Structure 1
Amino acid sequence: MTNRLVRSSSQLSHPLSEPSQRSQHLLTLLFTLALLVACAPGTQAQANSTGYRPYSGWSTFSEQTITSNFLTQANMTAQSDALKASGLEAHGFQYINIDSGWQGSFDANGRPIPNTTTFPNIQALVAHIHQNGQKAGIYWIPGVEYPAVAANSPILGTQYHIQDILTVPYTAGNAFGGSGTSPYHYKIDYTKPGAQEYTNSVVALFASWGIDYIKLDGVTPGSDSYGTSIDNRLDVAAWSKAIAASGRTMWLTISWDLDEDYLSVWQQYANARRIDQDVECEGDCNTLTNWPRIYERFRDLPGWENAAGETVGWNDLDSLDIINTNATDGLSNEERRSALNLWSLANAPLVLGGDLTAIDSFGTQLLSNDEALAVDRTGHPAVQVLDGDIEVWVSNLGHGQYYVGIFNMNAAVTHAQIPWSLLGFRNAVSVRDLWTHSDLGPMPGGFSTLLGSHASRLLKVTGVGSPEASPSTAYEAASAILGGNASIADCPLCAGGEKVGNLGLGTQNTATFNAVYAPRAGEYLMEVDSMTIGLRSYLFSVNGGPYQTLNCSGGSFLVPASTTVPVHLEKGMNSIQFGSPVSYPPDLDEIVIHGNGDFPVPDSTTYEAEVATLAGSVTGGFSNYSSGLAKAGNIGGGAGNTVTFTNVTVPSDGTYQLEIDYQTSGERSFFVSINGATPIELDLNSNTFSDPAPTVIQAQLKAGVNTIQFSNPSNYAPDLDRIVVAPWYGTH
């Protein structure tokens, strides 16, 4: 929830990606400390004696992105009243948080004060919020803004002035300063006398208004300023100390897209940290958010899933835009439910976005389900145990009790089969559906469900028994066969202390594991340990077969994160190659093959457009929110400008679901031909070339290999991200 900056060139470059500002020795110490902090419960107290559980409430920012002049005292009063009238307070929703734009000038001591036109009496507003039984939040960023610097205001209670506490030469105080040489807020030097006192005075002013929550934005390392010299770690510590000195309990969230390399600092001083980009479209689409922005949270979280808890704070997934109509939120009802399920499993703060005065009945229904909301407040954040088209997240409560989330990441209806062994037990003696509030009884072996477009199930399971022993074998990337520019670099926390980077951006830049053994042909689980900052994707090929996709994300190039996907192996030795002909894969630590070859075969198969057969003017290129981090563009406008999938393979003749993920702004058409048949015109409409939108049609396919071609002989077609082929389940 911040004004998003343009993605820095360092994120779109192709590094082995150790940050240039840091020595390897310092990184090793920091990472070791971070892991010790994250993995040793109780070694730290929760910052500022608050935040032992994630908070719930509402923030202005999402609505600010679609409604001009929304940020006013009158509107905040109306939102507070609407929250009270909604009945959601009884379900734990308390906070009314004012985001960026409230400030107008500075007082005599250089402290920010409200714009009196839009916020004529902020103390009265906070008092009204409190009278409604709620808590009030406010937004600020590190450093000192130019007008207070120019005035050289005296610092309250000291002999010092603003210019006495600044870094010299002047430099930017936060991520909004870009390169760091053009200050917006000037950087504070906390080694200078008066620096902590200035921050204390700002927090004391907020406390005098009755503020209960502070969001500190533009914090680096992070906030899309990777590789710059800006460093706000001391600022975060100073704000935390100032809150403690204020005598008022205040929640501190730091934002956004924080660098995981400094996890120990974020855990020590803040109650929550934003681990990802903004969830809002902010002009890239005409709604608050959309499914690709929600899917990004699924990709971001695995790298941080072991970093949260009641002693070290929470992973903030940004606003939960699920309270208004689908046309406003940009999400279907099932997508809204899936978003809430993920936030709850992650124990993330439930920060609602949108207009509380227009909350719809489905939004109220979602946020009144105390069984689902209880998942968010367990103090046991979930971990991902299965990635791919079906994702499974599990919160282990101890004593055989588990919360389980099962998610369909496709628009095509999918049959999910989840063996309990994946969760670490043999049988379930009880299964409860937290949305239907129904007990499903004992379920030996596993769970099976049919999931609609981007739909999910949220279960509470009592598991018993140990699963059968399952072998696993690890293969280090540094020992793989490297092609092209792929190369080895040091990585202290990686297996063997090394990793492989410079993968992708060409068919030759690959890492190939040539001796992956399987005792029999079948479906195995492949754990991929990788590192990246921001969204990246592997395209991998098994035994020279079609490309398969593993979409990843992360907050560090030196802290491995694990994702696990099904993979079919033949008996004996197999070859698995990682890269991406078109786009940016993560750096690779190792792969681990688990199982006996009896994992359920996935229901669907994905085919990426950028690696299909591209003809004429069609090109494959980078696309941040697309599967595989790439798409095919320049389709149509002539009969020869086509995308052809030549290897669409199905087991039998029949009707299948064909999901088409496309990008367009306005109306465009595909002509779709299957196995050379007369093309069918498919009229499509969306509102952005940035984010894919899906449509699902019936397709008649024959057993074996099929060909599907996309074209438009006379007009421009949409861009094409991918297709997904899955069985047809009748009316759905």
Structure 2
Amino acid sequence: MKTNRAILFLVIIILLTSCTTKKEKAPFKKGEFKTWAKTPPMGWNSWDCYGPTVEEHEVKANADYMATHLKEFGWEYIVVDIRWFVENDKAGGYNQTNPRYVIDEYGRYLPAVNRFPSAKDGKGFTELAKYIHQKGLKFGIHMMRGIPKVAVENKLPIKGTNGITADQIYSPENQCEWLKDNYTIVAGKEGAQAYYNSIFELYAEWGVDFIKVDDLSAPIYHKDEIELIRKAIDHCGRPIVLSTSPGPTPINSATHVSENANMWRMVNDVWDSWWHIQNLFKVSKKWYAYNTAGTWPDCDMIPLGRLSIRGERGADRMSSLTKEEQYTLMTLFTIFKSPLFFGEDLPSNDAFTQLLLTNKEVLKMHSESTDVRLLFQQEGKVAITSKNKNTGETYLSLFNISEKKSLEITVNLADLSLAKNVKIINMWSGDEIGTFKDSFTQNIGAHASGLYIITELK
């Protein structure tokens, strides 16, 4: 009897231990991250509207809107942008005079509770992430590369190391030019990888699904820190989509960035000015070959709708782009298969902005197309094409990026591998344009565009 009781006691101890011991998740395999964003990610980011000052209630309001009005169309990420760990930041730039940072004992930033009340008692973003996940959406945050200066100055310990402190892994060289919160992490230093591991272990505990890491690609391409971040995400056990920022990412680093990130910025910040869109056409020419499943060249956030309630650029306003320019921007972003992140205040949407976000055929092209190609770009005329990988239908976009009031743009159907008569439909309006053979010609106004789906007739 005593023996049976001893055995029973031992079994109970083993069961209790197995229930209470935290199991380590196996690291992800090399390249597995590419399966986390098989189609270009789509969501909302707080930057264009709130700069570094967004608050929890505003994040929730945008999540509520997305869940009710946009989720069914494929929009799913809610991303809190820069400096969520500063209690007293400001609109129209950054408070770099007397910022009050919130940081833990291991030199890791924590959400400012006066802006994110659910972060109290050391909860971080756990409750906010849960709120967003319960709506069937995904949660993302922004971070700067490197280690906080305040962690270095106070020689804070690095979690997971044997006595290594923040001042042993940093360098003041190549510090971010426009925001002085962090120092560079020296990849070869003992403890460097452990620090990044500790950050992403924390983010995984919070329930983060997406991370935008700033000051990685330009003006210096920080190859070593990108690799540290890649290893840290793969080690944390939670699939976290990685976006590198800002641009322009150097084209000679295209292979490296596509082997480490799910998306990367081709340009600096894009705002509601026509020249920003013109520049996207110029820069994107180099990136078509790297537009592949799981890794996406990024045109930046979409500056449409209501911007700069407390933003970094300009006053509170509806986008300054004309309606034709807005169609042009959305047509380029969708046929190029850029990630789609709106920077506006979603609850302030008007009917036209909502139309741009919810065209089912355009978004189907964005998610299902393949073989994106630039047919030509010359004298203000641009033509881009792709094919639907499921139906075989052909997509075609035409742009007049010149100042001429109208340009006649012709595409030979043979250049689209189309030999028969075809039916062409305007994708934005749904109107059938007609039946064509050999070629297709449209007159496109200045700054305007056309987006078409082409079906071969039997």
Same-fold call, TM cutoff 0.5:
yes
Higher-Rg member (1/2): 1
Of 418, 423, 432 in structure 1, the residue corresponding to residue 425 of structure 2 is 432
- Report the CA distance shift for 1:172/1:374 in structure 2 as closer, same or farther (over 3 A): farther
Q: Deviations over 1:107-140 (max 9, x none)?
A: 0011111122212323222222222221111011
| 2:323 corresponding residue in structure 1 | 333
- Report the CA distance shift for 1:431/1:48 in structure 2 as closer, same or farther (over 3 A): closer
- Asked if structure 2 preserves the Cα contact closer than 8 Å seen for 1:428 and 1:446, the reply is no
| 1:484 corresponding residue in structure 2 | none
Q: Deviations over 1:270-317 (max 9, x none)?
A: 00000112102xxxxxxxx12211221111101111112015x00110
| 2:61 corresponding residue in structure 1 | 78
CA distance in 1, matches of 2:446, 2:228: 46
| 1:36 corresponding residue in structure 2 | none
Of 45, 49, 58 in structure 2, the residue corresponding to residue 63 of structure 1 is 49
- Report the CA distance shift for 1:253/1:461 in structure 2 as closer, same or farther (over 3 A): same
| 1:10 corresponding residue in structure 2 | none
Of 205, 210, 217 in structure 1, the residue corresponding to residue 207 of structure 2 is 210
Letter in 2 for 1:448: T
- Asked if structure 2 preserves the Cα contact closer than 8 Å seen for 1:165 and 1:188, the reply is no
CA distance in 1, matches of 2:454, 2:177: 46
Find the residue that maps to 1:187 and give its secondary structure: strand
| 1:296 corresponding residue in structure 2 | 279
Letter in 2 for 1:59: N
| 1:161 corresponding residue in structure 2 | 164
Of 305, 310, 319 in structure 2, the residue corresponding to residue 323 of structure 1 is 305
| 1:577 corresponding residue in structure 2 | none
- Asked if structure 2 preserves the Cα contact closer than 8 Å seen for 1:428 and 1:461, the reply is no
TM-score normalised by structure 2 residue count: 0.80
TM-score normalised by structure 1 residue count: 0.51
Structure with more helix by fraction: 2
* TM-superposed deviation, 1:345: 0.9
- Report the CA distance shift for 1:176/1:206 in structure 2 as closer, same or farther (over 3 A): farther
CA distance in 2, matches of 1:362, 1:90: 18
Find the residue that maps to 2:177 and give its secondary structure: helix
Letter in 1 for 2:61: A
- Asked if structure 1 preserves the Cα contact closer than 8 Å seen for 2:49 and 2:306, the reply is no
CA distance in 1, matches of 2:191, 2:165: 8
CA distance in 1, matches of 2:443, 2:178: 49
Find the residue that maps to 2:288 and give its secondary structure: coil
Q: Between the two proteins, what is the percent identity of the paired residues?
A: 26
CA distance in 2, matches of 1:242, 1:92: 28
| 1:224 corresponding residue in structure 2 | 219
| 1:704 corresponding residue in structure 2 | none
Find the residue that maps to 2:151 and give its secondary structure: helix
CA distance in 2, matches of 1:307, 1:76: 33
Matching of residue 347 in structure 1 with residue 348 in structure 2: no
CA distance in 1, matches of 2:207, 2:60: 15
CA distance in 2, matches of 1:365, 1:271: 28
| 1:502 corresponding residue in structure 2 | none
CA distance in 2, matches of 1:115, 1:371: 41
* TM-superposed deviation, 1:433: 2.1
Q: Highest relative contact order (Cα 8 Å, sep 6+), 1 or 2? A: 2
* TM-superposed deviation, 1:379: 5.2
* TM-superposed deviation, 1:453: 3.5
Give the superposed CA RMSD.
2.5
- For residues 117-266 of structure 1, what are the structure 2 equivalents within 5 Å? 117-120=114-117, 121=119, 122-163=125-166, 165-167=168-170, 170-172=171-173, 174-176=175-177, 184-220=181-217, 223-225=218-220, 232-257=222-247, 258-266=249-257
Q: Deviations over 1:659-702 (max 9, x none)?
A: xxxxxxxxxxxxxxxxxxxxxxxxxxxxxxxxxxxxxxxxxxxx
CA distance in 1, matches of 2:449, 2:193: 47
Of 449, 452, 455 in structure 2, the residue corresponding to residue 456 of structure 1 is 449
| 2:399 corresponding residue in structure 1 | 407
Structure 2: stretches of 5+ with no match in the other structure: 1-29, 87-101, 120-124, 308-315
Letter in 2 for 1:192: K
CA distance in 2, matches of 1:400, 1:132: 34
- Report the CA distance shift for 1:162/1:403 in structure 2 as closer, same or farther (over 3 A): farther
- For residues 365-404 of structure 1, what are the structure 2 equivalents within 5 Å? 365-378=355-368, 380=370, 382-387=372-377, 388-397=379-388, 401-404=393-396
Letter in 1 for 2:238: R
Structure with more strand by fraction: 1
- Report the CA distance shift for 1:318/1:199 in structure 2 as closer, same or farther (over 3 A): same
| 2:83 corresponding residue in structure 1 | 101
- Report the CA distance shift for 1:417/1:379 in structure 2 as closer, same or farther (over 3 A): closer
* TM-superposed deviation, 1:367: 1.3
Structure 1: stretches of 5+ with no match in the other structure: 1-43, 226-230, 281-288, 466-732
CA distance in 1, matches of 2:446, 2:351: 21
Aligned length: 396
